[in-house]
Structure 1
Amino acid sequence: MGIVYSKSDRTFTIQTKNTTYQMQVDPYGFLLHLYYGKKTDGSCMDYLLTYYDRGFSGNPFDAGDDRTYSMDALPQEYPSYGTGDYRSTALIVENADGSTACDLRYRSHHIFNGKYKIPGLPAVYADETESQTLEIVMEDAVTGVEVTLQYGVLPDYDVITRSEKIVYRGEGKICIRKAQSACLDFVQGKYDLLTFYGRHAMERTMQREPVTHGSHVIGSVRGTSSHQYNPMMILADENTTDQYGNCYAMSFVYSGNFKGETLKDQFGQTRALMGLQDEMFSYPLAEGETFYTPEVLLTFSGSGMNLLSQNLHRCIRQHICRGKYKESVRPVLVNSWEASYFDFDGDTLYELAKEAKHAGIDMLVLDDGWFGKRDDDNSGLGDWFVNEKKLGGTLGDLIKKINDLGVKFGIWVEPEMISEDSDLYREHPDWALTIPGRNPVHARNQLVLDFSRKEVVDHIFDQICKVLDQGNIEYVKWDMNRSLMDVFSRGTEDQGRVMYDYVLGLYDFLERIVTRYPDLLIEGCSGGGGRFDAGMMYYTPQIWCSDNTDALDRLQIQYGTSFGYPVSAVGSHVSAVPNHQTGRITSLHTRGVVAMAGTFGYELNLGKLSEEEKQEIRLQVEEYRKFAPLIQTGLYYRLSDPAREEYAAWAFVSEDQKEVLLNVVLQEIHGNMTVNYVKLQGLKCSAIYRDTETGKSYNGAALMEAGIPMPVEMGEFKAYQMHLTAEE
């Protein structure tokens, strides 16, 4: 395993545990993609390249009279505009003379142990024994544009990462108009594309469709990765399922505007690209300046999409998430939002904390409304000082009272936002993203602070630190409740850089927070799932999955989320019924089973529950704690598609296959109901698994091949959990 350069045929071969990735420097210095897929012996596969005289496909000058050589047909590692490739390319550069062309040729390479880092950006981290890096330097000899292609390899995870370092060594100034981070070119094959679309309160719905001629584009221009499209996509052979077949994933480690594109070209070849959104993007580089593209995670599975997801889950959980909580069991919390919204004071919070203690819940989280002039969502953002009149005392006193109960304390913030009705806006109106001479577009009656400017980030950072220093705050919910518009910064003349620099400012803020408060657990949030991406997980090891807490809707939301992200990163709570988003009524048991496919907590007023419900919650919390290590670190298996079947089923299986937690929710009930059989996955065929509740034993192969029947009971939305252990 590792990275091998063959001088004789000028190939680079990357070997992981189960995959091979190969590319070649051709006689003209172009870097061509040869293969990515199931592991081979690493021998040169340039025989896959074909050359024909194709009409209207131009030829590089170097090729002379050879009309069979065209970049419009050859598979490439990092295609750039200006070489004769008319497909969507990874890089477009506007040069100092106004021309648009970049002809990248191989210059050198470097292989070393360990994983490259990207200044100011989140990325996979790994030590020298776990990873290797390949750097390939490409250059345009005419303009002085130099692009270093970076490949990070985690062999045991079957993960390869991609990023680029772009340096300008010419005179004057160039503009990067498009910069994708990864390109996959396939010379043949019939593929389906899986993408994950949605809206606020209904995120990451899986869509699967054939890759056809023309481009399928997903992306965001909202300043965040967005509720509407997630920055992760899967390319799969047309017959691939969760259990069988070849598939590839591309996941963008970035939290701002992005673009993912898949296309079939005129010759039936498939190209997939992932990287920065080129709309609203024009990044200037003067002589000697450097630009970094954010990272893309690549992984391949030859055994279906469950294994593909598990590759991503492991990598994100162990090599993107950081800090005290990256793999440890998180505290069970109750959030004050759906319990009281803005209508609370110190006494009601203390009573909620007492109820939490009685229920065995670890933490109370104080949500929106504790600061400035903030009794609704129309004012106060930017004024990060405690409203002691509302709390009836200092924040420190409230925290101490709650801690004295044996309950931890957390707090909500929304640092990137500003209300026009705030002291900060009255003092610094230019700190908001607005266009001079135009009235701003409102959303939630708030504006966005210009985090591309260091002085703005520094001021808000200082204010938030003053809050966090007031007491033993162990958790922060970091919210972001609108999309960017009116993107204009007073801090630069180059407005095409602002969207990217905004995200760098956000990451700088977060990096300083996690450095100053290393034991602080931060949960990311953007109206729920509007910034649910691997980039945020570098700073916030869990993210509020969706503002929609309805158990039935969450089945689909969490199903789509599972394709790319580990359960340990999924913020999921039990909320009140009728549900505040849908009005639907589901049992407390069903809500608990669904919420256990995440970090687990509560979003309701515990004081309004009956004694029977409180007792059920106490037992639920005990049950979750018993299973939490398996849920957070076990292998996750999708056992059904809840959008297509009467039931939703998933399982957690320990890496040693000795422990299983099966979860099933019946979504439909009919007269004279048929029986649903759920087939498990990931078990040891020869093992005998015992149900720890009933004592009944089952053969592993039988559970996977024949399944297990679900009870037929009266009533809607019944849920079941079965805990199985392998007998020695």
Structure 2
Amino acid sequence: MAEVVFDPAERLWLLTTATTSYALRLDESDAPRHVFWGPALTVEQAAAIRTPVLSKISAVDGTTDEELVVEGSARFDAPSLSVRFPDGTRAFEWKYLDHTIDEGHLAIRFADRHYPLEVALHYRVGADTDVIERWTTLRHTGADEPITLLRTDSASWFLPYRAGYELTHTVGGWSNEFQLQRTPLTYGETVFTSRRGTSSHQANPWLFVRNGDEVWSGALAWSGSWRITVRHTPSGQTSFSGGFGHEGVSWRLNTGEEWETPVFAGLYATDGVEATARRWHVYVRNHVLPHADETRPVIYNSWEATEFDVNETNQKGLAARAAAMGCELFVMDDGWFGARTSDTAGLGDWEVNRDRFPGGLDPLIAEVHRLGMRFGLWVEPEMVNPDSDLYRQHPDWVLHMPNRTRTTLRNQLVLNFARTDVAEWAHKWLDQLAGRHEIDFLKWDMNRAFSEAGWPGEADQDRLWIDHVRHVYAIIDRLRADHPNLRVEACSGGGGRIDLGMLARTDQAWVSDNTDALDRIRIQHGYSTLYPARTMSAWVTDSPNQLTGRVIPLAFRFHVAMAGVLGIGGNLLNWTPEELTEATTLLKQYKEIRHVVQHGSQYQLAAGPVTGVQYTLGNEVVVLLWRPVVNFGKPPLPVRLKALDPSARYRTGAGECCGAVLLHHGLEPSLPTGDYASTMIHLTKINPS
């Protein structure tokens, strides 16, 4: 059940999700005050929470529990809404206007008591989820000069007064994204942010706050710079707020213009962090992804095999090996266009290199399709090399500032997609590329952060931080609408731009440029704390690994990659017949279980040095186990499985097992001797209770 109810006598709204409630009310000054976020309540029960705990705290602290913390009066928290009116006034004073309720969408409209600014707080609940989506809109209702927006968060979320909160989030960098961190929540303000123009490798825009088994979590649907601030005071108040943008930027709100923030989704659960992760997985599959019912194909990507040295001959050779192995989608990576023989030139000149592909792309595409695979291409539309025809023709198209050096990273500059002419240019060539050729898949990359983020001659230059992302969204949305069979993978030098905003218009994400199987275990664990396996591209590449030099058996590499959307990225032309045979067998095994991996519920497993994941869908269970090292020659411990029927029996390739034994004693894995041992076990429930 999902509904929104308004109690006019109490001026209170109650949002009800599948199993939770969220309540807010207007105080005597019309400010929207938080009341409750937790287990299900009735309207009468929510109304009984009449005296906010905050009112018992000394006003000297200057804290607030407003649904969107505004600047002004005796408020000293970091504001979620900060504006400057033309006369210099910065405070906002709430005046309630009205509200609407439309099929689970609540919009509460306010105005400033003196200035021509309307603010609407939006809430949306769905029937099959406990996730609450929140965002804010602002509208300039006057005929005056522009209003300056200094900070416009999507929402502020308040937690109960409890001691001993724990914070879960991710940190990282290039090649070590999604490193999971769990720390006690300390007093003060904890800020997570990206100032890079992308959601970033260094942090991801979500967090969990846990107290016992209760978890309050939030995730921002935005693919540019962002900020989330967690507040925890000695008086016991705990909250977090977030939205797009970072410090030091501002935007103009012109007369008649409306400004809309991205969704900041929140979820309350009572069954711990791992179960909260599964609830987010269901939400992403059912409410975010464009084709959640699809099962993703096995990819072969040519990058690590050939890098920039691509041509029709070597790509056809790789395609033949990939098809024989059982791959279903062949993706040609960087190097197929312009003067792109290295990363120093050609980026931006999106015409096929005729020296490498004399007949254009069509002969290769036709061969890939003849082999029974779909065809995909790597693109990086937002970037340009200074050594390119595009840059020589349009040096003003990049982000730049007068009298400042244009910083190159990876020998490239960032095109200003906030400019409509640049965005239209990008859409045109992408549309033509997809329309002229039978292209089934695009790997959309973005390999560097913003720098010198200026737009000379534009009155509102900081808008580029927002409009760049909005135009990227619009281009992908238009391409998908005009080419409904096209599928897209999000990539940004690995996992530098993965978030709910990008996943709403792509089908999967490239999680990291690090394909080392041992490192990938940690990366994939952190990633799956919010995002489902259905979105997680994971490749098997060569050994020794190009990045780490680590030598890892082929089966271990496969078993790690099987935990998501399996791909192959090694140079198959150099694989031995024995490796190709083993890989073909393992790939076939993945196809037998991938519907469970990609659409099932995920559980984390651990027993001593053995870790793994379990996926459950209907009567099927898939277990992937990894033991990187053997400690003192000890045999593996039993691994206790989860979420099984204790009264049922389960069939495996080795026989039958009792559900109660698997739950309470554990599965005794048969692992190869030595380091880097792994296995995949497929269980089927044979006598459902």
TM-score with structure 2 setting the length: 0.96
Aligned residues of 1:246 and 1:300 also touching (Cα < 8 A): yes
Q: Distance in 1 between matches of 2:638 and 2:251?
A: 55
Are 1:671 and 2:632 counterparts?
Answer: yes
Tell which deviates more after alignment, 550-559 or 174-183.
174-183
**Within 5 A, what are the aligned runs for 1:140-155?**
140-155=112-127
1:703 CA displacement? 2.2
1:491 CA displacement? 5.9
Question: Which residue, 280, 284, 300 being the options, matches 1:334?
Answer: 300
Are 1:225 and 2:199 counterparts?
Answer: yes
Question: Which residue, 342, 345, 357 being the options, matches 1:391?
Answer: 357
Q: Distance in 2 between matches of 1:328 and 1:491?
A: 46
Are 1:199 and 2:202 counterparts?
Answer: no
Are 1:6 and 2:10 counterparts?
Answer: no
Give the total of aligned pairs. 681
SS of corresponding position for 2:178: strand
1:274 is aligned to: 242
Alpha-carbon deviations, 1:102-133, whole Å to 9, x = none? 122322111111xxxxxxxxxxxxxxxxxx11
1:405 CA displacement? 2.5
Aligned residues of 1:179 and 1:278 also touching (Cα < 8 A): no
Gap change, CA 1:53 and 1:557, over 3 Å in 2: closer
Q: Distance in 2 between matches of 1:31 and 1:477?
A: 44
2:668 is aligned to: 709
Q: Distance in 1 between matches of 2:202 and 2:525?
A: 16
2:678 is aligned to: 719
Q: Distance in 1 between matches of 2:240 and 2:522?
A: 26
List gaps (5 residues or longer) in structure 1: 58-71, 114-131, 240-244
SS of corresponding position for 1:511: helix
Question: Which residue, 210, 226, 232 being the options, matches 1:258?
Answer: 226
Aligned residues of 2:155 and 2:241 also touching (Cα < 8 A): yes
Aligned residues of 2:64 and 2:77 also touching (Cα < 8 A): no
1:86 is aligned to: 76
**Within 5 A, what are the aligned runs for 1:42-81?**
42=43, 43=45, 44-47=47-50, 49-50=52-53, 51-52=55-56, 54=58, 56-57=60-61, 72-81=62-71
1:348 CA displacement? 0.8
1:650 CA displacement? 1.0
Aligned residues of 2:671 and 2:679 also touching (Cα < 8 A): no
SS of corresponding position for 2:615: strand
Q: Distance in 2 between matches of 1:369 and 1:500?
A: 30
Query: What is the one-letter code of the residue matched to 2:657?
Result: S
2:130 is aligned to: 158
Question: Which residue, 444, 464, 472 being the options, matches 1:506?
Answer: 472
Query: What is the one-letter code of the residue matched to 1:661?
Result: V
Aligned residues of 1:367 and 1:411 also touching (Cα < 8 A): yes
1:639 CA displacement? 2.2
1:83 CA displacement? 3.3
Question: Which residue, 645, 649, 656 being the options, matches 1:684?
Answer: 645
Aligned residues of 2:352 and 2:360 also touching (Cα < 8 A): yes
Alpha-carbon deviations, 1:589-647, whole Å to 9, x = none? 11111111111110011121111111112112211111111111101112249xxx623
Aligned residues of 1:388 and 1:395 also touching (Cα < 8 A): no
1:674 CA displacement? 5.0
Are 1:651 and 2:614 counterparts?
Answer: yes
**Within 5 A, what are the aligned runs for 1:308-457?**
308-323=276-291, 326-457=292-423
Question: Which residue, 504, 514, 533 being the options, matches 1:538?
Answer: 504
SS of corresponding position for 1:585: coil
Tell which deviates more after alignment, 1-10 or 706-715.
706-715
Query: What is the one-letter code of the residue matched to 1:4?
Result: V
1:48 CA displacement? 5.1
**Within 5 A, what are the aligned runs for 1:164-183?**
164-170=136-142, 171-183=144-156
Q: Distance in 2 between matches of 1:35 and 1:177?
A: 29
Aligned residues of 2:117 and 2:140 also touching (Cα < 8 A): yes
Query: What is the one-letter code of the residue matched to 1:80?
Result: V
1:242 is aligned to: none
**C-alpha RMSD over aligned residues:** 1.6
SS of corresponding position for 1:498: helix
Aligned residues of 1:327 and 1:568 also touching (Cα < 8 A): no
1:355 CA displacement? 0.8
Aligned residues of 1:395 and 1:470 also touching (Cα < 8 A): no
Q: Distance in 2 between matches of 1:285 and 1:705?
A: 60
1:585 CA displacement? 1.4
Aligned residues of 1:211 and 1:263 also touching (Cα < 8 A): no
Query: What is the one-letter code of the residue matched to 1:384?
Result: W
Aligned residues of 1:275 and 1:294 also touching (Cα < 8 A): yes
TM-score with structure 1 setting the length: 0.91
2:262 is aligned to: 294
1:235 CA displacement? 0.9
1:519 CA displacement? 0.6
Query: What is the one-letter code of the residue matched to 1:561?
Result: Y
Are 1:604 and 2:604 counterparts?
Answer: no
Aligned residues of 1:35 and 1:45 also touching (Cα < 8 A): no
1:280 CA displacement? 4.2
1:551 CA displacement? 0.6
2:588 is aligned to: 622
Aligned residues of 1:335 and 1:603 also touching (Cα < 8 A): yes
Aligned residues of 1:80 and 1:104 also touching (Cα < 8 A): no
SS of corresponding position for 1:165: strand
Aligned residues of 1:75 and 1:187 also touching (Cα < 8 A): no
**Within 5 A, what are the aligned runs for 1:569-580?**
569-580=535-546
Q: Distance in 2 between matches of 1:85 and 1:621?
A: 59
1:711 CA displacement? 4.1
Q: Distance in 2 between matches of 1:705 and 1:347?
A: 56
Query: What is the one-letter code of the residue matched to 1:110?
Result: T
Percent pairwise identity: 33
Q: Distance in 1 between matches of 2:364 and 2:59?
A: 75
SS of corresponding position for 1:639: strand
1:68 is aligned to: none
Q: Distance in 2 between matches of 1:74 and 1:434?
A: 40
1:308 CA displacement? 1.2
Question: Which residue, 558, 563, 569 being the options, matches 1:592?
Answer: 558
Query: What is the one-letter code of the residue matched to 1:688?
Result: R
Alpha-carbon deviations, 1:693-721, whole Å to 9, x = none? 1112122x332333223346521111111
Aligned residues of 1:146 and 1:169 also touching (Cα < 8 A): yes
Alpha-carbon deviations, 1:239-258, whole Å to 9, x = none? 4xxxxx11022111110001
List gaps (5 residues or longer) in structure 2: none
Aligned residues of 2:129 and 2:283 also touching (Cα < 8 A): yes
SS of corresponding position for 2:520: helix
Q: Distance in 2 between matches of 1:406 and 1:46?
A: 63
Question: Which residue, 648, 657, 677 being the options, matches 1:697?
Answer: 657
SS of corresponding position for 1:668: coil
SS of corresponding position for 1:249: strand
Poorly superposed stretches of 4+, deviation over 4 Å: none
Gap change, CA 1:446 and 1:48, over 3 Å in 2: same
2:98 is aligned to: 108
SS of corresponding position for 1:157: coil
1:7 CA displacement? 1.6
1:327 CA displacement? 2.4
1:317 CA displacement? 1.4
1:136 is aligned to: 108
Alpha-carbon deviations, 1:10-34, whole Å to 9, x = none? 2111111111111111222111111
